[in-house]
């Protein structure tokens, strides 16, 4: 018989490396037509970090996205990065981008003031323009500045950086600062469990994540969709060594034996809302997102199975075999 | 008012990804490229008496066969305790012992079959609970438990007084939970193409998730300055943490340095599943005290991480797990002991969630048990115990931008759960450390 159940899980999740110190640097260079090359070697592994960097740079400099490129291709010419890990990319690279952007604005003001034959204290920068505060009609654009500086042999290059504070811990009590920034999340899962076959279907996933300010809504939604798939896989299917801990001699080595969810396993209905609590340390208030989005589903699904058929599967994945065995024990 | 932040904007290079125009590290080929395959340990724990590569070198089309003796510095990884190519003692099945660079895959495999390996299988241990016992096979000569800061057998959290917490409780609830080995399953498998460029520098097209992280580690293995080593990559076909561990870059680089030819070392899907790092198993044991009104008075957690044969990222994931294992709940008395145990299996790598999601899986099942014991709803227990702004987390750091209550309120609304008025009126900003609690 098909039994319905509902489960809840709630989590908090740190942004960045445990204990801090995970630095990033970003460089910016203005080209002859005023376009800006950004470099930072963080890997883009599907999360869409390059677009996030460009959005943050565009916001800081007040000019359109089309003015930027982001090069992350190599260790010779791109700025230093530790790497994409620990839900840190948007947060750390974002802060380094803002730092670089602010430095670039200072450089543009200084060069622009020269072009306007006045002192740097007399000019302002806004939306790609340096202008005299006393007479805003006297202005030079990024294009003017790039076009003047590059052929004149003046480099318009800046580098910014960011490092979360390094925090040692006390080995006796664990007291320390694992991360200044944490995200929050909760998921309600609805499942249907067939108590004759042990097969579980996830019907609905309702989720709310607080990732601070959402930088790119489309990318964030995509991360959550991917997290749902991984979370369902972790909850119900994935196991490299099904006989562990007794043995690891049988290890799955292909996608016939190692089951990852397909789109057929996705819930009929999955929905996410972001709660945007501004993080004082994050770029424009953003927190990390990449990992938390597969934290909530496994427990919510297993708790929902408990609600549906009255057995708590204490070791994941909650396979049909495990569920049937627990139901049999319960029936005795 | 923000103009670019907060918008829905397609990824910078998404059209390339979906039209097949993006060049990923594993797509890169070069003329005269050699193919690398490695000889791996057939046993989980073994002693290598000798490796004879003389017959393998005679195979036509073989350009190099290397063993540990060919590696300038034979240790690598974040905590550099792993052998690039196995020394005398093998610690896990699949550990690299020798590597071949040949004209093609068939020749490379033939050469591997000609390597005479005198290896003695030894008793192995795969269950960390067994590995901790007296007399267990030694995965490492110094012992099977990692000592934090050189002397502490566990990574600890100690907050409040657990005896007081249990005395105050109306119910004591225990639970044991376990998670298993999981594969990252990226679309693109691990891959390296290494070659010497026109200036004599070593260039590696790598699938690394952290090019500088990997460059630093590799320069040490090759014993060359960073100016002689360039890593190329950056945009890769999925990682999920798996590409923070080095699996092919070191060996491809060594073979390129030896042969002066481009060398490709790319994992098959089977390699990826058997021989790339995984999420290793965890064991969790909870003992909680809770009052009738739902307030958790104490939480005691023992966790064991099965680290595999080498440290890799084991210490890091364990520390992270310990800090968050008590969950998003304000609990006065917290006691956590995290143990890292070496066993004869693939070293523990990073995987999306880094020790935290496995712990929070266990924690959320335990929370369900607590709610049922007291007879309150899953929402009740979470609202009652939720952290608020300025509260101290389990590592005693102040929490900022807290929204545990708000995410619960929103998710309840989405799922059509009608919350009692007292929960709807709550806010994470109500009162923090030193303030007045709603309990």
Q: Which pLDDT tens digit goes with each residue over B67-108? A: 999 999 999 999 999 999 999 999 999 999 999 999 999 999
Residues of A in contact with B211 (CB under 8 A): 41, 43, 74-75, 81, 83
Same domain assignment for residues B376 and B414: no
Residue in A41, A217, A284 closest to B211 by CB:
A41
In tens, the pLDDT along A41-89 reads 999 999 999 999 999 999 999 999 999 999 999 999 999 999 999 999 9
Q: Give A15-62 as a 3 state SS string.
A: CCCCCCCCCEEEEEEECCCCCEEEECCECECCCCHHHHHHHHHHHHHC
Per-residue model confidence as pLDDT tens for chain A (332 residues): 999 999 999 999 999 999 999 999 999 999 999 999 999 999 999 999 999 999 999 999 999 999 999 999 999 999 999 999 999 999 999 999 999 999 999 999 999 999 999 999 999 999 999 999 999 999 999 999 999 999 999 999 999 999 999 999 999 999 999 999 999 999 999 999 999 999 999 999 999 999 999 999 999 999 999 999 999 999 999 999 999 999 999 999 999 999 999 999 999 999 999 999 999 999 999 999 999 999 999 999 999 999 999 999 999 999 999 999 999 999 98
Residue A153 · residue A98 · CB < 8 Å: no
| CB of B139 less than 8 A from some CB of A | no
- In the stretch 230-249 of chain B, residues with CB closer than 8 A to chain A read 230-241, 243-244
In tens, the pLDDT along B46-66 reads 999 999 999 999 999 999 999
Please answer yes or no on whether B411 and A207 come within 8 Å at the CB atom: yes
Please answer yes or no on whether A50 and B12 come within 8 Å at the CB atom: yes
Tokens in use for A30? 């203005």
Q: Domain for residue B6, yes or no?
A: no
Same domain assignment for residues B217 and B113: yes
Residues of A in contact with B188 (CB under 8 A): none
Q: Domain for residue B2, yes or no?
A: no
How confident is the prediction for chain B on average, in pLDDT? 96
What is each CA distance from A165 to A170, A176, B13, B227, in whole angstroms?
16, 11, 33, 29
Same domain assignment for residues B372 and B249: no
Classify residue A62 as left (phi > 0), alpha (psi -120 to 50) or beta. Answer: left
- In the stretch 247-286 of chain A, residues with CB closer than 8 A to chain B read 247-248, 251-255, 258, 260, 271, 273, 275, 277-281, 284, 286
Residue numbers of the domain that contains B53: 14-122+185-274
- Residue B38 backbone dihedrals phi, psi, to 5 degrees: -120, 150
* Cα B251 to the center of its chain, rounded Å: 21
Q: Domain for residue B8, yes or no?
A: no
Per-residue pLDDT at B437: 41
Q: Domain for residue B9, yes or no?
A: no
Q: Is B226 exposed, middle or buried (0-12, 13-18, 19+ CB in 10 A)?
A: middle
Nearest Cα of chain A lies from the Cα of B292 at a distance, in angstroms, of: 21
Please answer yes or no on whether A210 and B323 come within 8 Å at the CB atom: no
pTM higher than 0.95? yes
Residue in A10, A180, A314 closest to B177 by CB:
A314
Residues of A in contact with B245 (CB under 8 A): none
Please give the Cα distance from A55 to A194 (Å, whole number): 47
Picking from B239, B395, B427, B428 by the largest number of A CB atoms within 10 A of its own CB, the best residue to mutate is B395
| CB of A164 less than 8 A from some CB of B | no
Please give the Cα distance from A81 to B281 (Å, whole number): 30
Angle between helices B378-385 and B356-374 (to 10 degrees): 110
Asked if the model's pLDDT at residue B438 lies above 50, the reply is: no
Q: In what order do the strands lie in the sheet containing B282-290?
A: B155-159, B333-342, B296-308, B282-290, B171-179
Same domain assignment for residues B99 and B224: yes
ipTM score of the complex? 0.97
| CB of B331 less than 8 A from some CB of A | no
Per-residue pLDDT at A300: 98
Per-residue pLDDT at B434: 43
Asked if the model's pLDDT at residue B211 lies above 60, the reply is: yes
Q: Domain for residue B283, yes or no?
A: yes
Picking from B1, B2, B3, B5 by the largest number of A CB atoms within 10 A of its own CB, the best residue to mutate is B5
Please give the Cα distance from A51 to A49 (Å, whole number): 5
Same domain assignment for residues B267 and B413: no
In tens, the pLDDT along B263-282 reads 999 999 999 999 999 999 99
Residues of A in contact with B270 (CB under 8 A): 253-254
Domain end: B370, B385, B400, which one?
B385
Give the residues across from B159 on adjacent strands: B334
Q: How many cross-chain Cβ pairs, A to B, lie less than 8 Å apart?
A: 372
Same domain assignment for residues B254 and B338: no
Angle value at C-alpha A223, between A252 and A70, nearest 5 degrees: 110
Residues of A in contact with B6 (CB under 8 A): 213-215, 217
| CB of A203 less than 8 A from some CB of B | no
Same domain assignment for residues B129 and B260: no
Please answer yes or no on whether B411 and A299 come within 8 Å at the CB atom: no
- The CATH number for B193's domain is 3.90.1170.50
Domain end: B240, B274, B308, which one?
B274
Residues of A in contact with B5 (CB under 8 A): 55-56, 59, 213, 215, 284, 286
Nearest Cα of chain A lies from the Cα of B368 at a distance, in angstroms, of: 7
Q: Domain for residue B176, yes or no?
A: yes
Residues of A in contact with B45 (CB under 8 A): none
Nearest Cα of chain A lies from the Cα of B150 at a distance, in angstroms, of: 11
Residues of A in contact with B230 (CB under 8 A): 74-76
Please answer yes or no on whether A208 and B410 come within 8 Å at the CB atom: yes
What percentage of chain A's residues is helix, strand, coil (to nearest 5)? 35, 25, 40
Please answer yes or no on whether A275 and B179 come within 8 Å at the CB atom: no
Same domain assignment for residues B283 and B343: yes
Domains and CATH numbers, chain A: 2-14+181-330 (3.30.365.10), 24-162 (3.30.365.10)
Same domain assignment for residues B129 and B116: no
Same domain assignment for residues B193 and B250: yes
Q: How confident is the model at residue B432 (pLDDT cuts 50, 70, 90)?
A: low
Asked if the model's pLDDT at residue B134 lies above 50, the reply is: yes
Q: How confident is the model at residue B220 (pLDDT cuts 50, 70, 90)?
A: very high
- Residue B205 backbone dihedrals phi, psi, to 5 degrees: -80, 115
Per-residue pLDDT at B45: 98
| CB of B378 less than 8 A from some CB of A | yes
Domain end: B385, B401, B428, which one?
B385
Same domain assignment for residues B57 and B197: yes
**10 Å Cβ neighbour count for B149?**
8
What is each CA distance from B333 to A244, B188, B318, in whole angstroms?
33, 45, 21
Q: Domain for residue B203, yes or no?
A: yes
Residue in A43, A73, A180 closest to B209 by CB:
A43
Q: How confident is the model at residue B1 (pLDDT cuts 50, 70, 90)?
A: confident
Picking from A27, A85, A226 by the largest number of B CB atoms within 10 A of its own CB, the best residue to mutate is A85
| CB of A85 less than 8 A from some CB of B | yes
- The CATH number for B164's domain is 3.30.365.10
Per-residue pLDDT at B433: 52
Per-residue pLDDT at B227: 97
Residues of B in contact with A300 (CB under 8 A): 364
- In the stretch 412-431 of chain B, residues with CB closer than 8 A to chain A read 412, 414-415, 417, 428
Same domain assignment for residues B296 and B424: no
Q: Domain for residue B5, yes or no?
A: no
Per-residue pLDDT at B229: 98
| Domains identified in chain B, total number | 3
Start-to-end Cα distance in chain B: 39
Per-residue pLDDT at B436: 38
In tens, the pLDDT along B305-358 reads 999 999 999 999 999 999 999 999 999 999 999 999 999 999 988 999 999 999
Nearest Cα of chain A lies from the Cα of B99 at a distance, in angstroms, of: 21
Per-residue pLDDT at B23: 95
Per-residue pLDDT at A332: 83
- In the stretch 168-207 of chain B, residues with CB closer than 8 A to chain A read 175-183, 185-186
């Amino acid at each position: 018989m098909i039994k319905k159940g509902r489960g809840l899980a709630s989590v908090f999740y740190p942004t960045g490396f445990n204990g801090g110190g995970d630095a990033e640097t970003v460089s910016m260079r203005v080209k002859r037509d005023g376009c800006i090359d950004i470099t930072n070697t963080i890997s883009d592994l599907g999360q869409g970090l390059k677009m996030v960097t460009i959005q943050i740079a565009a916001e800081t400099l007040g000019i359109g996205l089309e003015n930027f490129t982001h090069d992350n291709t190599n260790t010779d010419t791109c700025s230093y990065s530790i790497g994409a890990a620990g839900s840190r990319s948007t947060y750390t690279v974002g802060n380094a981008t803002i730092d670089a952007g602010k430095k670039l604005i200072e450089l543009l003001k200084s060069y622009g003031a020269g072009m306007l034959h006045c002192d740097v204290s007399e000019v302002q920068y806004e939306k790609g323009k340096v202008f005299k505060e006393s007479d805003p009609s006297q202005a030079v654009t990024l294009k003017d500045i790039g076009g003047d500086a590059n052929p004149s042999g003046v480099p318009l290059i800046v580098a910014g950086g960011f490092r979360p504070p390094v925090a040692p811990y006390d080995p006796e009590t664990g007291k320390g600062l694992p991360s200044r920034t944490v995200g929050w999340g909760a998921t309600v899962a609805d499942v249907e469990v067939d108590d004759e076959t042990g097969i579980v279907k996830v019907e609905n996933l309702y989720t709310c994540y607080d990732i601070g300010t959402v930088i790119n809504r489309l990318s964030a939604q995509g991360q959550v969709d991917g997290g749902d798939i991984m979370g369902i896989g972790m909850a119900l299917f994935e196991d490299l060594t099904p006989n562990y801990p007794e043995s690891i001699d049988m290890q799955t080595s292909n996608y016939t034996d190692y089951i990852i969810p397909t789109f057929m396993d996705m819930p009929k209905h999955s929905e996410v809302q972001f709660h945007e609590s501004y993080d004082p340390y994050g770029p424009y208030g953003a927190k990390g997102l990449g990992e938390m989005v597969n934290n909530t589903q496994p427990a919510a699904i297993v708790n929902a199975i408990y609600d549906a058929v009255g057995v708590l599967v204490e070791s994941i994945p909650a396979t049909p075999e495990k569920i049937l065995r627990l139901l049999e024990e319960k029936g005795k | 008012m923000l103009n670019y932040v907060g918008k829905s904007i397609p990824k910078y290079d998404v059209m390339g990804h979906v039209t097949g125009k993006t060049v990923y590290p594993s797509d890169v080929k070069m003329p005269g490229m050699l193919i690398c395959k490695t000889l791996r340990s057939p046993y989980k724990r073994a002693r290598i008496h000798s490796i004879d590569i003389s017959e393998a070198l005679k195979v036509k089309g073989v350009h190099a066969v290397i063993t540990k003796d060919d590696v300038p510095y034979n240790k690598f990884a974040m905590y550099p305790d792993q052998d690039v190519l196995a020394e005398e003692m093998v610690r896990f099945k699949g550990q690299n012992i020798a590597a071949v660079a040949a004209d093609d895959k068939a020749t490379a495999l033939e050469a591997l079959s000609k390597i005479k390996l005198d290896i003695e299988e030894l008793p192995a241990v795969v269950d960390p609970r067994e590995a901790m016992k007296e007399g267990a096979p030694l995965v490492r000569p110094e012992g099977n438990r990692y000592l934090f800061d050189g002397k502490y057998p566990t990574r600890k959290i100690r907050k409040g007084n657990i005896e007081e917490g249990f005395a105050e409780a109306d119910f004591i609830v225990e639970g044991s939970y376990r998670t298993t080995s999981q594969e990252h399953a990226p679309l693109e498998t691990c891959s390296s193409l290494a070659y010497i460029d026109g200036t004599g520098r070593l260039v590696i097209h790598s699938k690394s998730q952290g090019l500088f992280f990997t460059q630093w580690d590799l320069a040490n293995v090759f014993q060359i300055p960073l100016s002689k080593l360039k890593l190329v990559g950056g945009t890769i076909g999925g990682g999920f943490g798996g590409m923070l561990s080095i699996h092919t870059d070191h060996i491809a680089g060594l073979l390129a340095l030896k042969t002066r030819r481009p060398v490709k070392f790319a994992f098959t899907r089977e390699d990826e599943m058997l021989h790339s790092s995984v999420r290793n198993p965890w064991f969790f044991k909870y003992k909680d005290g809770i009052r009738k009104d739902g307030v958790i008075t104490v939480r005691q957690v023992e966790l064991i991480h099965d680290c595999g044969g080498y440290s890799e990222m084991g210490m890091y994931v364990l520390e992270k797990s310990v800090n968050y294992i008590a969950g998003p709940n304000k609990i006065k008395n917290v006691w956590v002991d995290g143990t890292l145990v070496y066993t004869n299996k693939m070293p523990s790598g990073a995987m999306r969630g880094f020790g935290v999601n496995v712990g929070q899986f266990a924690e959320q099942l335990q929370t369900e048990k607590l709610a049922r014991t007291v007879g309150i709803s899953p929402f009740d227990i979470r609202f009652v115990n939720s952290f608020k702004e300025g509260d101290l987390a389990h590592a005693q750091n102040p929490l900022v931008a807290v929204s545990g209550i708000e995410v619960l309120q929103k998710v309840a609304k989405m799922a059509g759960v009608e919350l009692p008025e007292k929960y709807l009126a709550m806010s994470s900003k109500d009162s923090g450390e030193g303030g007045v609690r709603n309990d």
